[in-house]
């Protein structure tokens, strides 16, 4: 721990003295970029001081080549904690030196990991004049996470992306790939990174280059590329009253197949869909203004290889009468999914229809302690079908509780906790057989998963059993022995003997 603290202190002392960190040479200045970059920084208690310091070092290394200013790059930080907090507004620090000092002075807040709440807060600040944000520049969100969140992130993250924010995610922990790849902008290969906190410098240049693709000033850009679509964004050059945009696009090997569409001057983005996979398109944006001349902007975009779905089928949350089926990926070319399931030893099967935008469903009304064969079939818009199967087992009715654990509460008191049992639990019974003293039996409701056991004599070994109660019968009890540590005297002191 001391070695880690010394390493972090040494790096930041070097930066404070204007030196580069070991192994990092001077970075060339990057100009001709314009955008608001917001760091979503996990400042909760789940992050150690060492990890927090390494992430701050990574943040500065990521942005230090940029030119900061009201017509260049601006940056800010929002803390993920119990309550989200903005470290400083976008327009407060507009030079490399002041941005560096502001990042170095950022302190960890601790608290809960309420990422969803922080994302909703970020949505307000990224488009707020009071926060120093600018209305007509690209918006970039960089979320550095250890992979856990106490609340839902899917809805606020989707709202941010719908408002044109490009989302980059760096996971330094054991994050769920399906959840994070859905949260990041598309494609995830460009916008999602999994890396150990000590290896963050490995991805710095790649991530910075991807951010540069977004914040190049006054340029037609492309985001959210899939095998059959991509989204175009551009600066606000016109208004509803001053003109409109003409968009032309065609495969580079068949320019005669050019397609044209028009949108009002109020638009700053458009999604082109029903495209061919693995195809390079030539795209031109022509601003048609009745006041000023704006030159056309062009860009080349290559769609991704068509994803084959389902590539994997996962079974989770198995219970006596249900389980959840998930699959990935979910390409735009899939219109619907069919989930066929039935007992492995039997000739009956049932079918569920699932919308093509979903990647999971819950199968219910099943028999307990039974093995099922589950087949997920993707129905493509072209009429093609692709299937993949997996086995799933329901749990035995009346399954026992899991993960019985203990915590010393002091004053000869022990806290016993357990994970909820499956099925329709009516309650729990906790029996404590003490080495000295009477045994006890405590009954609690199904919503309670812990009890306090008192009168636990120091130096004794005791047996604690927990049973989940069902309508027909109790489950098998989960039992553990626990030793209560004997009372110890503080070093250097002895009890005074009475005369």
* pLDDT at residue 496 tops 60: no
Nearest to 429 by CA among 397, 465, 405: 465
Do 129 and 95 touch, CB atoms closer than 8 A? no
Provide φ and ψ at 119, rounded to 5°.
-65, -40
Q: What is the pTM of this model?
A: 0.45
Beta-carbon contacts of 397 under 8 Å, excluding residues fewer than 6 positions away, are 320, 368, 369, 423, 470
Q: State the alpha helices, DSSP H only, in 90-200.
A: 96-104, 115-125, 154-162, 177-183, 188-191
Residue 283's pLDDT is what? 94
pLDDT for residue 125 is more than 80: yes
Residue 9 has pLDDT above 70, yes or no: no
User: How far apart (Å, rounded) are the C-alpha atoms in residues 385 and 128?
Assistant: 47
Look at residue 43 and tell me whether its pLDDT is greater than 70: yes
- Tell me, what's the pLDDT at 253? 92
Structure tokens at 253: 């090997």
What is the number of residues in the chain?
A: 499
Distance CA 118, CA 237 (A): 31
pLDDT computed for residue 490 by the predictor:
45
User: Are 478 and 466 spatial neighbours (Cβ–Cβ below 8 Å)?
Assistant: yes
What's the confidence (pLDDT) of residue 398? 60
Residue 215 has pLDDT above 60, yes or no: yes
Coil, strand or helix at 4 = helix
Rounded Cα–Cα distance for residues 230 and 225 (Å): 4
Give the Cα separation of 108 and 196 in Å (integer).
20
Identify the band that residue 330 occupies on the pLDDT scale cut at 50, 70 and 90: confident
Alpha-carbon distance 254 to 281, whole Å? 9
C-alpha angle with apex 326: 325 to 332, nearest 5 degrees?
Answer: 135
DSSP string, 422-448: SS---EEEEEEE-SSS--EEEEE-TT-
Instruction: Give the pLDDT confidence of 405-446 residue by residue, as tens digits.
Output: 999 888 889 999 998 887 778 899 999 999 988 999 999 999
**Rounded distance, CA 218 to CA 249, Å?**
20
């Amino acid at each position: 721990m001391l070695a880690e603290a010394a390493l972090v202190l040494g790096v930041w002392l070097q930066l404070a003295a204007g030196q580069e960190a070991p192994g990092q040479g001077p970075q060339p200045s990057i100009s001709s970029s314009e955008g608001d970059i917001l760091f979503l920084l996990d400042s909760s208690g789940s992050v150690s001081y060492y990890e927090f310091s390494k992430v701050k070092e990574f943040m500065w290394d990521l942005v230090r080549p940029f030119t900061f200013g009201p017509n260049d790059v601006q940056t800010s930080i929002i803390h993920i904690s119990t309550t989200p907090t903005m470290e400083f507004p976008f327009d407060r620090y507009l030079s490399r030196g002041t941005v560096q000092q502001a990042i170095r002075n950022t302190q960890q807040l601790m608290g809960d990991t309420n990422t969803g709440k922080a994302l909703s807060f970020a949505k307000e600040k990224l488009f707020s004049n009071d926060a120093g944000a600018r209305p007509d520049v690209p918006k970039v969100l960089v979320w550095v996470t250890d992979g856990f969140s106490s609340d839902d992130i899917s809805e606020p993250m989707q709202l941010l992306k719908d408002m044109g924010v490009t989302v980059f995610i760096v996971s330094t922990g054991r994050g769920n790939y399906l959840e994070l790849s859905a949260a990041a902008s598309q494609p995830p290969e460009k916008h999602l990174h999994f890396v150990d906190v000590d290896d963050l410098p490995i991805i710095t240049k790649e991530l910075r280059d991807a951010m540069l693709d977004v914040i190049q000033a006054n340029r037609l850009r492309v985001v959210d590329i899939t095998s059959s679509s991509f989204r175009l964004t551009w600066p606000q050059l016109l208004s509803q009253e001053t003109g409109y945009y003409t968009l032309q696009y065609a495969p580079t090997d068949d320019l005669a197949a050019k397609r044209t569409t028009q949108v009002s001057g109020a638009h700053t983005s458009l999604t082109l869909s029903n495209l061919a996979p693995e195809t390079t398109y030539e795209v031109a944006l022509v601003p048609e203004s009745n006041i000023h001349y704006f030159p056309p902007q062009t860009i080349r975009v290559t769609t991704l290889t068509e994803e084959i779905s389902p590539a994997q089928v996962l079974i989770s949350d198995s219970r006596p009468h249900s389980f959840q089926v998930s699959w990935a990926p979910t390409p735009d070319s899939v219109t619907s999914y069919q989930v066929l399931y039935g007992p492995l030893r039997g000739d009956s099967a049932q079918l569920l229809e699932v919308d093509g935008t979903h990647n999971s469903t819950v199968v219910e009304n099943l028999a307990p302690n039974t093995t099922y064969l589950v087949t997920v079939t993707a129905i493509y818009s072209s009429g093609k079908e692709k299937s993949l199967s997996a086995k799933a087992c329901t749990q035995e009715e009346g399954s026992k509780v899991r993960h019985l654990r203990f915590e010393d509460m002091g004053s000869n008191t022990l806290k016993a906790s357990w994970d909820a049992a499956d099925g329709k639990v009516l309650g729990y019974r906790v029996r404590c057989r003490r080495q000295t003293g009477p045994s006890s039996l405590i009954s609690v409701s199904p919503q309670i998963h812990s009890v306090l056991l008192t009168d636990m004599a120091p130096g004794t070994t005791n047996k604690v059993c927990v049973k989940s109660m069902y309508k027909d019968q109790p489950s098998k009890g989960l039992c553990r022995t626990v030793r209560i540590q004997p009372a110890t005297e503080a070093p250097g002191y002895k009890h005074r003997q009475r005369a």
